[in-house]
Amino acid sequence: MDALHVDYKAAEETDDTTYLLSSPANAEHLKRSIEQEKKGEVTKLDLDDIWKP
């Protein structure tokens, strides 16, 4: 990543939530998703359903 001059932080330098919220687009998407969950606008899947072909 350094050779490509890509800005990044090692995992130990930041937690996942901080990283995800650091992008305005990600923060807005997460905010909308949380609101959908609060309204019950979600689809619940069993773990076994995730792996079905």
Q: Quick one: three-class SS letters along the chain?
A: CCCCCCCCCCHHHCCHHHHHHCCHHHHHHHHHHHHHHHCCCCCCCCHHHHCCC
d(CA 46, CA 30): 22
> 10 pLDDT band (50/70/90 cuts)?
low
Quick one: average pLDDT of 25-48?
91
Quick one: average pLDDT of 47-52?
79
Residue 1: per-residue pLDDT: 62
In degrees rounded to 5, what are phi and psi of residue 8?
-155, 165
Residue 9: per-residue pLDDT: 66
pTM of whole model > 0.75? no
Query: What is the residue extent of each domain of the chain?
Result: 11-50
Residue 45: per-residue pLDDT: 85
Is 22's pLDDT higher than 80? yes
